[in-house]
Amino acid sequence: MLLALLSVPGWSAKTLDIYFVDVEGGQATLMVTPSGESVLVDTGWPGFDGRDAARISAAAQKAGIKKIDYLIISHFHGDHVGGIKQLAGRMPIVNVIDHGRTVESGANPEALYKAYEEVAAKAKRTTVKPGDRIPVQGLNIEVLAAHGQATTRKGKPNPHCAGVEQKAFDSTDNAQSVGVLVTFGKFRFLDLGDLTWNKELELACPENRIGKVDVYLTTHHGLDTSGPAALVHAVAPRVVIMNNGEKKGGTPSAWKIVRSSPGLKDLWQLHYSAAGGSENNTGEQMIANLLGKDEGHYIMLSAESNGKFSVANSRNGLRKNY
């Protein structure tokens, strides 16, 4: 029955549906609201014969949408913005959201940014700052971080900050990531892009400026350059989604931080990690793509405004309620 449900547009007119599209270690997170508006965070990689744009388009088709109303580009790296021109060739993009110009120089960063600007020129472009809200009907999408700055909203003292250490300064565009908190009634979802360790600490210490969330998309694909326990344990997600690839993301120390988070019920992964081994990877039934040939299976989340939600694996039809 679940497979049948996944093959038709939407699960319910009253739910927020989120498709975690497999772009093999990048990000493409598609949200579809009860009113039918769409929000996409990032576009995956370029090349591969348009693989990632095709997978995003397929998810959009399943959701019954024909355009991207809001495209949030977290930052200007190839695994996040690379697929934008190929996606724009498949479906209209109405609004684009960014943190401002890339802070990196050189041939590849400039080429990625130029490709973005070519698409942005044909849409309505907005550069955001912490505290801004993206005007999507039925959702509250608050910008927590952008262009190296963090929200200044008040929070509660965070006991998990005791003894926390910072890491080396990150000068890449990762640290400039647009990070958002998505609220649908009582349901809360956190996506911080590839925001790096020290920048995340600005959101969590000495005050937790985010609060608790229901679902957390692992920052930076579950690499240990992001995801400090001071943040992960403070937001205390019930469910974590790891957007890793077979050979990218899912650092063992990052896994340990996630697994020891208070209140965690389940960890879902887009890929089995070849380096993680059985001691780190989550249960096989909650992994969308196993070792070997990647088939582009996705994870889908369907949330109700009362805070209840379901997560499903398109590979095997497993669905769990929370």
314 domain residue, yes or no: no
1 domain residue, yes or no: no
Handedness of CA 78, 150, 133, 123 (dihedral sign): negative
**Percent of the chain whose predicted confidence (pLDDT) is above 90:** 94
229 domain residue, yes or no: yes
Q: What is the CATH number of the domain that holds 149?
A: 3.60.15.10
Q: Is the pLDDT of residue 4 over 90?
A: no
What's the number of domains the chain is made of? Answer: 1
Q: What is the pLDDT of residue 294?
A: 83
Residues 10-23: what's their mean pLDDT?
83
Q: Give the integer Cα–Cα distance in Å for 182 and 188.
A: 6
The total number of residues shown for the chain amounts to 322
pLDDT in tens, 173-216: 999 999 999 999 999 999 999 999 999 999 999 999 999 999 99
320 domain residue, yes or no: no
Q: Which residues pair with 143 in a beta bridge?
A: 180
**Percent of the chain whose predicted confidence (pLDDT) is above 70:** 96
Range of the domain at 149: 13-305
pLDDT in tens, 232-268: 999 999 999 999 999 999 999 999 999 999 999 999 9
Q: Give the integer Cα–Cα distance in Å for 172 and 156.
A: 30
92 domain residue, yes or no: yes
The pLDDT confidence band at residue 13, using thresholds 50, 70 and 90, is low
222 domain residue, yes or no: yes
103 domain residue, yes or no: yes
190 domain residue, yes or no: yes
Q: With helix as H, strand as E and coil as C, how does the chain read?
A: CHHHHHCCCCCCCCCEEEEECCCCCCCCEEEECCCCCEEEECCCCCCHHHHHHHHHHHHHHHHCCCCEEEEECCCCCHHHHCCHHHHHCCCCEEEEEECCCCCCCCHHHHHHHHHHHHHHCCCEEEECCCCCEECCCCCEEEEEEECCEECCCCCEECHHHCCCCCCCCCCCHHHHCCEEEEEECCEEEEECCCCCHHHHHHHHCCEECCCCCCEEECHHHHCCCCCCHHHHHHHCCCEEEECCECCECCCHHHHHHHHCCCCCCEEEEEECCCCCCCCCCCCHHHEEECCCCCCCCCEEEEECCCCCEEEEECCCCCEEEC
pTM of the model: 0.95
**Torsion angle of alpha carbons 292, 193, 96, 214, nearest 10°?**
100
Q: What is the pLDDT of residue 2?
A: 41
pLDDT in tens, 85-114: 999 999 999 999 999 999 999 999 999 999
